């Protein structure tokens, strides 16, 4: 985990850069697709999604956490084949980024984020875009 400063504009800008966002989503899809079958099972989502974007908190009950993952599958497994495909995963990640952006608003926030997570990719994207990093 590392401390980062960003705003909703950081997350929105990343989500709206289709090419970069799709490439990043593809990289994380490959990371989570442990059995390499081209879809993310409930187990793969459950074991990996929280590593790239914080969905769980210590104050949630096990039942609440289960409900979050069940809702993800209900909404994003559009083909109802017990697996989220690459495009569905990209849609899920975009929705998470935009939901976070709505939550934070335009004021900068300081937050600990996963060093290799999706939010950090958004922060790095903004730095590159503004010419402050390679």
- List, as one string, the DSSP characters of 16-77: H-HHHHHHHHHHHHHHH-TT-SSSB-HHHHHHHHHHHS----TTS-HHHHHHHHHHHHHHH-
Residues of the chain predicted below pLDDT 50? none
Q: What is the pLDDT of residue 131?
A: 81
Q: What is the pLDDT of residue 31?
A: 94
- Nearest Cα neighbor of 83 from 39, 46, 25 is 39
Q: What is the pLDDT of residue 34?
A: 96
Which pTM was predicted? 0.85
The answer to whether the beta carbons of residues 124 and 23 sit under 8 Å apart is no
User: Mind listing the domains of the chain with CATH numbers?
Assistant: 2-129 (1.10.238.10)
Q: What is the pLDDT of residue 55?
A: 67
């Amino acid at each position: 985990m590392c401390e980062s400063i960003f705003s909703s504009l950081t997350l929105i800008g990343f989500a709206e850069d289709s090419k970069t966002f799709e490439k990043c989503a593809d990289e994380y899809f490959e990371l989570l697709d442990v059995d390499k079958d081209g879809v993310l099972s409930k187990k793969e989502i459950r074991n990996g999604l929280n590593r790239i974007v914080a969905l769980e908190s210590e104050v949630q009950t096990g039942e609440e956490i289960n409900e979050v993952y069940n809702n993800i599958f209900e909404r994003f497994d559009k083909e109802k084949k017990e697996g989220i495909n690459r495009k569905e995963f990209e849609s899920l990640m975009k929705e998470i980024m935009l939901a976070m952006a709505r939550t934070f608003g335009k004021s900068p926030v300081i937050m600990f984020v996963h060093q290799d997570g999706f939010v950090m990719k958004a922060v790095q994207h903004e730095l590159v875009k503004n010419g402050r990093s390679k």
